[in-house]
Structure 1
Amino acid sequence: MTVSTGKPAVFSDIEGTLISISFPRTYFEQSRALGIIPPINQVIVAVLNGIGSLFSHKSKIGGILRYLAIMNAMRNVPMSYNDQVMERVNPLLHASLKPKSIARIREYEAQGMPVILVSAALQQGVESFAKTFGWRGEGTIPILKGDLFTGKAEKPLSGEEKAVRVRAVAQELGIDLSRSVGFGDTVTDVPFLSLLSTAYVVDPDDELRAIATSKGWTIIES
């Protein structure tokens, strides 16, 4: 249930909204550099990325292929390596921050609004990145077998699932969604953005631009 009283907050997607590079791909590349990616994973990811290159990364099909690549990239990799990987990943993500997006979010943060990052990337990585700002991170929950990532997750944090998580976090923290702000960059972000009082879309494709215009959302061109 949407929280009707309480403090406002900022909810933001990461890839394409806050950063200009791929979070999962960067994580995969740094994991590979550390020598922890099984060779078969590298082959599968290369195939999926090859197919995915035929579609816009903002399209639904592109999103599905990207999600499959994320899941296969880290299959059978111990999650205990996450901190070591993120030590290499976080500086790269910070170097790719979109100035206009981060500046606008910082403006709201300066008003006392907490910031929650919501992303389809795996929870452990999202949480680590968010902590570098002093923010909260919400990502896709991986299914583990012992310490090993199985290549499966509870549900990808995308589309309606992202809206469900935003509602849950709002209820947990006493956040008033009717006074809150959201940032996204694809049509899959529309469900969670629609819950909020104010929404920004970053570098939208034509479909999202049309939706944003019809809803009166602010468009940020980076």
Structure 2
Amino acid sequence: MTGLELLAVALGMRHGVDPDHLTAIDGLSRVRPSPLNGILFALGHGGIVTLLAFPAAALLQRVNLEALHLPTLLLLLVAGLNLYRLLRPEERTPGRLPLLHPLLLGLLFGLGFETASQLSVLALSAQLSPLRLGLFFTLGMLLVDGVDGFLASRLQNLARDSRRAKRASRLLGWVVVAVALLLALAELGGVDLGAIAFPLGLGLFLLLVSLRLYALRPA
């Protein structure tokens, strides 16, 4: 890979650690556990970024999609469903809602949130072909979001038979609700959380890894 392609991968990994990504994937995994959640989310999101890198998509970039607050509404939906499951664990949550498909979630997040890492990779479109740019950027996201989705899904599966894993799952659920509400309210209130986005996302990822290790320990 060239230096620019490595940079695209690095930006994809950085983008994959954004707290809105991890919150959506972890929250989705508590409603409909699947090891493919993170992979499908990254593919959907990467597909949109690839599309936006084409000059013909300039018109789409001019549309004020942020005014629709699509990712914000989806974060509120994820928070609401996880809160419902936390308060009523004995009842089945509606995990088959079309909006909760990880591929569609990734598409909508790619259209709605313009983060620094996403804008940075689009700036490379003048030096890399859109397809190569999208491929390497998506690869970076897959490395992070794919692992996150796998770990979150495995934790939920362990929670079916292990009290330790069930406690870990509930803690993750409360963290997902809190972070999703924080991000959604900040977006609606016009508060820029860019300065804390990376440490918040990295902390959420490390928490998931820690909870997974905790769940695997013998009682």
Q: TM-score, structure 1 length as denominator?
A: 0.32
Question: Which structure has greater strand proportion?
Answer: 1
Q: TM-score, structure 2 length as denominator?
A: 0.32
Question: Which structure has greater helix proportion?
Answer: 2
